[in-house]
Amino acid sequence: MFGPLKALFKNNEPATKVIDKVWMSANARFNACIAMARANSACVFICWFPETYEKLQQSLPEEQLVLADRASAHTFEGRMIVFAEHHPLGRKEAALFKTLNLHEAPVLSSLDEPLFMRFGGDRTIEIMKKLGMKEDEVVGSDLITRALRNAQRKIEEKVVAEREARSQQEWFNLNFPPQ
């Protein structure tokens, strides 16, 4: 009965294509951010958490950094937007992607950050090491992106009211403690 109505009100806006780039460690990810910033001064990094912002602020100029809650489309005209990390809630990311009118959103992550560690990041690191991958090598695939989306959906199912945090680890402690 609701099928035709659902189709009538379906959102036809294209979703933002997320381009995940994943390193084994947060240190390797930060080094990649610094290298990207030096290679392209028009690159701006959006950070979801103040702790990430402050760590990058030690190596990058202020004009290449912004906290997600201060990001708006007019700020980034002619700039290359890169997300320095994922937010655990996919809907929050999607809302900002839409606000910024992004068709593509590169997001940098590391397997040792809380979002991955809650869903098997440590096992993935072991596998990558056994395959001979180096810490500073980047991995990106649709498989990783799908796994991240699934993890974010699982988190969203359990987080009813989000509490703000300074870091991804603190966010998980406050909003999604281990069962």
- Asked, for residue 119, whether it belongs to a domain, the answer is yes
The runs of H, that is alpha helices, within the chain are 3-8, 26-39, 50-57, 90-99, 114-117, 121-130, 142-158, 168-175
For Cα atoms 166, 92, 144, give the angle at the middle one, nearest 5 degrees. 95
The total of structural domains in the chain comes to 1
Q: Is residue 131 left, alpha or beta, with left meaning phi > 0 and alpha meaning psi from -120 to 50?
A: alpha
Q: Name the one residue in this structure whose structure tokens are 């090491």.
A: 129
Q: Crossing angle for the helix pair 50-57 and 168-175, nearest 10 degrees?
A: 170
How far, in Å, CA of 157 to CA of 175, rounded? 12
- Asked, for residue 8, whether it belongs to a domain, the answer is no
- Asked, for residue 4, whether it belongs to a domain, the answer is no
What is this structure's pTM? 0.88
Q: Do residues 84 and 52 touch, judged by C-beta distance below 8 A? A: yes
pLDDT at position 6 is 47
- Asked, for residue 67, whether it belongs to a domain, the answer is yes
Tens-place pLDDT, residues 117-176: 888 878 888 888 888 889 889 988 888 888 889 999 999 999 989 999 999 999 999 999
Query: What is the spatial order of strands in the sheet that 65-67 belongs to?
Result: 17-23, 104-110, 80-83, 43-47, 65-67
- Asked, for residue 3, whether it belongs to a domain, the answer is no
Amino acid at 133: M
CB atoms within 10 A of CB 58: 8
User: What's the domain range around 164?
Assistant: 15-175
- Asked, for residue 135, whether it belongs to a domain, the answer is yes
Provide the Cα torsion 84, 80, 72, 58; round to 10°: 40
CATH of residue 21: 3.40.50.300
pLDDT category at 1 given cuts 50, 70, 90 is: very low
Tens-place pLDDT, residues 63-90: 999 999 999 877 888 899 999 999 999 9
- Asked, for residue 55, whether it belongs to a domain, the answer is yes
